[in-house]
Chain A
Amino acid sequence: MNILVCAKRVPMTGGTIVLTEDEQSIQTRHLGFTISPHEECGVEEAVRLIEANGGESVVLALGPSEAEEQLRDAMALGVDRAILLETADEVDGQATAAAIVAAIEAERAAGVEFDLIFFGNESADSGNYQVGIRVAHALGRPCVTGVKGITVQDGRARCEQETASGRDVYDVPLPAVITVKEGLNLPRYPSVPGRLRAKRKPLAASAPERRDAGVEKLRLRLPPGQGKQAEILGHGPEAAPAVVEVLRRAGLVT
């Protein structure tokens, strides 16, 4: 069985977000980078399924050359090889999907068919909620979204979604596309030997074809009402009566 996971390099924004002067992106000079927790669970699930069934796992990122860091991280967890689609700027959902589809078709031309393709339910930064679904349609494959439980058996995937009142179950034939959510599993930490091995695993970089954006980003803005300063109720246990007073005013205690 072969599995592809798509993961996007995003900044770890911490407690406050600062924008660049041109309002096109987040100021990242002092920030680390990561992938979304959803996608981390996709990586973990791929590694577990390959450990259980044999085959190959591949991780793909579209982004700047520095995204190699996130691809190596995924390989440190056990993914076998990586594909980097290099772009300088952020691209919209339609263009991202088109580039990923082209890469999957190139793999097919080279004899690699993916039985499963994992995406995050939504990317951490842009949250377009669409790339996985677009890729699925372009490939003519079923797509289940927001999945928190996967069982693969007899060429089918049973997928579970969490709902307000319980779980909804889907049962789709492979090959399939599945978009996943954090909570699907508890991802492992990379080991030192894993990190060393990841340095030598294959990474193929190429530049995707450009495509006009359907959703054209004009500028980023911080939402209003940020940076209010809390009223200090007190220090240590002595503050308890003041806290209870807030609870009382909120109607939680009579």
Chain B
Amino acid sequence: MTLVYVEHQDGRPDDASLQAIALVREITGGAPLHALLAGPGAEDAAAGLGAHGVATAHIAEHEALASHAPVALARCIGELIERLSPAAVAAAGSERGNEVLAHAAALGDLPLAANCVAAEAGDPLTVTRIRWGGSLLEDARLHGPVKLLTVAPHTVEAAEVGAGPATLERFTPSLADADLVVRVVETVEQSSEGGVNLADARFVVSCGRGAGSPEGFAPAEELAALLGGAVGCSRAVTIAGWRSHTDQVGQTGTKIAPEVYLACGISGATQHMAGCKGAKRIIAVNVDPEAPIIANADYAVIGDLHEVIPAITAELRKAGAG
């Protein structure tokens, strides 16, 4: 059998966790697929998992699991490993999925392959995982009594398989004080500044070193505002101190998935492209027709961003937008 740790919110399983279930179904064969859920809303979230092929959903009940506590969650996984001897344990390759599985791997001294996009049943288990934020793939074999893996978000499609509801099994994990040292003790809600969230924006216009200065972003701000979009930037910009790191698109910044990404004065380093792979269409604006981004964009404008961005804004105004 196999086990998937399922993250959920407002009583619904996260998409990334359903994607993890879909990948694990592939290596589970005819054996049963189990799920682990914890925290408020776990039972509601478990209700729909049967349709995704989960036979049994284990609900960990403990008051300490009300706020995120990664070591405690890893202990829950450890208990189920003891009890059920799964061949593999998986989770979403989300921040917390990766974190919780790494703790479980450390507790059991088990191998963990993070951010897999494919897996092939067998012992050793063969997986394909992403490196460099998705710019490179690695084929690997996992050796060990239990194989741990996380599934890179948006690389596998979740699918209902028409199975009946999952059996719910409640259990109370035995947790020591030491398991609860690392837990969220306070949550600060950010006051929304009225701006559009970079990660969720349908339109993003970014500028790179080509912007030349902090002031060079004014036309991009204007264009983003006109289309209800967000402004991003490259790392060359954040390390120059022109923009805050919260605006950085890329492997070590924010991953975006807009309908259109307008990338201006950005050369197209792999680490930048790792952050905008999810964009439906990429338009590059660059003075250099040989810039690497031209080979990774859908459309390109060869020209100076200081002229091209205002021209786009003017054209939109002429067309009656905003």
Query: Which residues of chain A have a CB within 8 Å of any CB of chain B?
Result: 13-17, 26, 36-38, 92-94, 97, 122, 124-130, 133-134, 136-138, 142-146, 160, 163-173, 181-183, 186-187, 212-223, 226-244, 246-247, 250-254
Q: Are B182 and A15 in touch, CB under 8 angstroms?
A: no
Q: A219-B138, A252-B260 are in contact. Are A36 and B252 (CB under 8 A)?
A: yes
Chain A residues positioned under 8 Å from B106 (CB to CB): 97, 130, 133-134, 136-138
Q: A183-B245, A236-B307 are in contact. Are A129 and B114 (CB under 8 A)?
A: yes
Partner of A218, one of B140, B241, B270, B316: B140
Contact with A along B191-206 (1 / 0, CB 8 A): 0000001010011000
State in angstroms the CA–CA spacing of A231 and B300 once bound together.
6
Q: A16-B270, A171-B185 are in contact. Are A236 and B303 (CB under 8 A)?
A: yes
Contact with A along B261-298 (1 / 0, CB 8 A): 01000011111000000001111100001011111111
Q: A164-B199, A250-B260 are in contact. Are A216 and B143 (CB under 8 A)?
A: yes
Flag whether B6 is at the interface (Cβ < 8 A). no
Q: Which one, B18-26, B80-88, B124-132, is touching chain A? A: B124-132
Q: For the complex, would chain B's binding face be called helix, strand, loop or mixed by DSSP majority?
A: mixed
Question: Which 3 A-B pairs have CB atoms at the shortest separation, nearest pair first?
Answer: A15-B292, A214-B111, A183-B245
Chain B residues positioned under 8 Å from A124 (CB to CB): 132, 251-252, 271
Instruction: Report A14 CB to chain B, min CB distance, Å.
Output: 6
State in angstroms the CA–CA spacing of A142 and B74 once bound together.
13
State in angstroms the CA–CA spacing of A130 and B113 once bound together.
9
Q: How many residues of B contact A (CB 8 A)?
A: 102
Partner of B298, one of A38, A227, A228, A244: A228
Q: Are B227 and A253 in touch, CB under 8 angstroms?
A: yes
Flag whether B8 is at the interface (Cβ < 8 A). no
Q: Are A216 and B140 in touch, CB under 8 angstroms?
A: yes
The residue in chain A whose Cβ has the minimal distance to the Cβ of B244 is A183
Query: Which residues of chain B have a CB within 8 Å of any CB of chain A?
Result: 68, 70-71, 95, 98-99, 102-103, 105-107, 109-115, 124, 126, 128, 130-144, 150, 181-190, 197, 199, 202-203, 227, 229, 235, 238-239, 241, 244-246, 248, 251-253, 259-260, 262, 267-271, 280-284, 289, 291-304, 307-308, 310-312, 314-316, 319, 321
Instruction: Report A179 CB to chain B, min CB distance, Å.
Output: 9
Partner of A250, one of B136, B252, B259, B300: B259
Q: Are A233 and B283 in touch, CB under 8 angstroms?
A: yes
Instruction: Report A186 CB to chain B, min CB distance, Å.
Output: 6
Q: Are B300 and A246 in touch, CB under 8 angstroms?
A: no
Instruction: Report B182 CB to chain A, min CB distance, Å.
Output: 5
Q: Are B188 and A127 in touch, CB under 8 angstroms?
A: no
Q: Are A215 and B142 in touch, CB under 8 angstroms?
A: yes
Q: List 26 A-B contacts (CB under 8 A).
A: A37-B235, A97-B106, A122-B98, A127-B131, A128-B114, A129-B98, A129-B115, A130-B102, A137-B107, A166-B188, A166-B190, A186-B239, A212-B143, A214-B110, A215-B111, A216-B141, A223-B130, A223-B137, A230-B297, A232-B299, A232-B301, A234-B302, A236-B302, A236-B304, A239-B311, A244-B319
Chain B residues positioned under 8 Å from A129 (CB to CB): 98-99, 102, 112, 114-115, 150
State in angstroms the CA–CA spacing of A15 and B271 once bound together.
8
Partner of B270, one of A17, A172, A233: A17
Supply 19 further A-B pairs (C-beta < 8 A) apart from A146-B99, A227-B295, A228-B298.
Answer: A13-B270, A15-B270, A15-B291, A134-B102, A136-B106, A143-B182, A145-B95, A165-B190, A167-B187, A168-B184, A170-B182, A170-B184, A217-B138, A220-B137, A221-B128, A237-B311, A239-B311, A246-B283, A252-B260
The residue in chain A whose Cβ has the minimal distance to the Cβ of B298 is A230
Chain A residues positioned under 8 Å from B182 (CB to CB): 142-144, 170, 172
Q: Are B259 and A14 in touch, CB under 8 angstroms?
A: no
Q: Are A214 and B136 in touch, CB under 8 angstroms?
A: no
Instruction: Report A34 CB to chain B, min CB distance, Å.
Output: 10
Q: A220-B136, A244-B319 are in contact. Are A232 and B302 (CB under 8 A)?
A: yes
Instruction: Report B191 CB to chain A, min CB distance, Å.
Output: 9
Q: Are A253 and B138 in touch, CB under 8 angstroms?
A: no
Chain A residues positioned under 8 Å from B239 (CB to CB): 186-187
Instruction: Report A28 CB to chain B, min CB distance, Å.
Output: 13
Instruction: Report A131 CB to chain B, min CB distance, Å.
Output: 9
The residue in chain B whose Cβ has the minimal distance to the Cβ of A244 is B315
Chain B residues positioned under 8 Å from A243 (CB to CB): 262, 283, 299, 301, 308, 312, 315
Chain B residues positioned under 8 Å from A219 (CB to CB): 138-139
